[in-house]
Each structure stands twice: as C-alpha cells, then as structure tokens.
Amino acid sequence: MLNERYGKFHETQIHRAGSCSPSKWGLIIIVLSIMLGGCTIPVPQGPTVIDKSFVTNNPCSPPCWYGLKLDVSNKEDVLATLSKLPFIELSSIREQSVRWNDSDAMYIRFSCISHKDKKCGGITIAGDKVKRISMAVHYELSLETTVSKLGAPDYVEYSVYHPEVGGCVISLEWQELGIVVNHLDTRNEGYCQYISDQNAIPKGIEVTEIHYIAEDRFTSETVDDSTRIPWPGFADNE
C-alpha cells in the first residue's frame, strides 16, 4: 500500500491574575495574596515545539531538513542533527534494520515532545547516505497550501487503506523535487471515492505525512492496489 511504499522556539507561558505584581514589599505582598486567595503565582508551562520547517523553509528549503540532504548526509550527520533539535524526545531515538531497494539499510525513528504518544518521524540510511526523511504533520497543513508552495504535483496516487477496515490513502508526488505528501484516513473512504468519481481533488484535505525521498526510490509504476493519475486539479467549490 501507499503508506508502506513511503515508509514509514521554546515558548514559556506565564499566567497572571488580578493586580498581583510584586511591589516594593516584595515577598510580603505575595504571601498575603496567597493567604487571601486573591492571586495565583505565575507557573511556567512546558515548551510547545512543533516542526514546521516545511512551510517556513527554516533553516533550509525542502527537501533539505535542518541541514540534512538526500544522498549527501550520512548517519553521523543525522545523529548530530537530531541531538540538537528542540522538538525531539532524545530518549526516543531508536535504530532498526530495514531494506532499501533490496539492500540492507537502517531506519532511525524518533518521537516528538509535543506528541509523545503518536508517531513523529524517521530517517532511512542506505550506503551511509540519507535516502528518506519522513515526518508526521502535527499542525494544520492542507493540500491546497502544499500545492501553492510547491506547484502542481506530477502524480496523485490513492487507494483503500485496508481491505477490511476501509480508509483512504492519498499521495501527491513531486518527483523532480523528491517530495511526497500523504493524507491518511484509517476509516473513511470518502475522499478516495470522490477522486475516482470526479477526477478531481476535493478541497479541505489535510496533509498527515511528509516524505523527502531519494531519486532511486521513485518509480513511474503504481504499487499494490493503488491508482495513479496525472494531477487533475482541485474540485470547484460546491
């Protein structure tokens, strides 16, 4: 299926109530305020850090990711980069063996601080070169915004997510750029059915995954039970 093919600033918030800013009496005022129940002591909250480099082009434009480049960067570069990114849960970084074009490869996966219970991303390395960088999207990013940024894709692929539970996988592919974006719905087949019936992409579809993929992985042939079509454009507003 399509999902198998493509693999897999710190902000501190301070809450203030009433007019409890410390005056020249300092601590005395704060203590009295607490005793009288009229003030809440400011409590710093945890960091809210989400990777939005795809839309910001910071620090480099896709398919570069925080300085990592396809077919250029190696494992040492990957580990050094991951160790410095503020949105990654460092203790979650794991390595596992995978295959890349029928050759042994390594997959380095990681979780994100903002979504520890959900998949975040991973990087595939073969021949000590980065071959794929995959990221889950944990912010609002529509297909319309993506196409506006990158231009019209070369192809659209879509298929049922699972024959028993249904669902829909949609992939937009920019082969020259080495970029694929996915929309995955594990339950609803509606978007896939719409594309099949109308030969157009319905508006409002959110991107759930972004993949930067080396040239040797792209193919002109469809995979599994998916349907590949040239870019049909978005449907007119209904």
pLDDT digits (tens, 9 = 90+) for 50-88: 999 999 999 999 999 999 999 999 999 999 999 999 999
Predicted TM-score (pTM) of the model is 0.78
Q: Distance between CA 30 and CA 25 in Å, rounded?
A: 9
Q: How confident is the model at residue 176 (pLDDT cuts 50, 70, 90)?
A: very high
In DSSP notation, 35-65 reads HHT------PPPP-----HHHH--SS-TT-B
Q: What is the pLDDT of residue 165?
A: 85
Domain boundaries, the chain: 51-133, 140-238
* pLDDT > 90: percent of the chain: 68
Give the contacts of 47 (CB within 8 A, at least 6 positions apart).
10, 11, 12, 86, 113
Q: Distance between CA 175 and CA 220 in Å, rounded?
A: 9
Q: Distance between CA 163 and CA 159 in Å, rounded?
A: 10
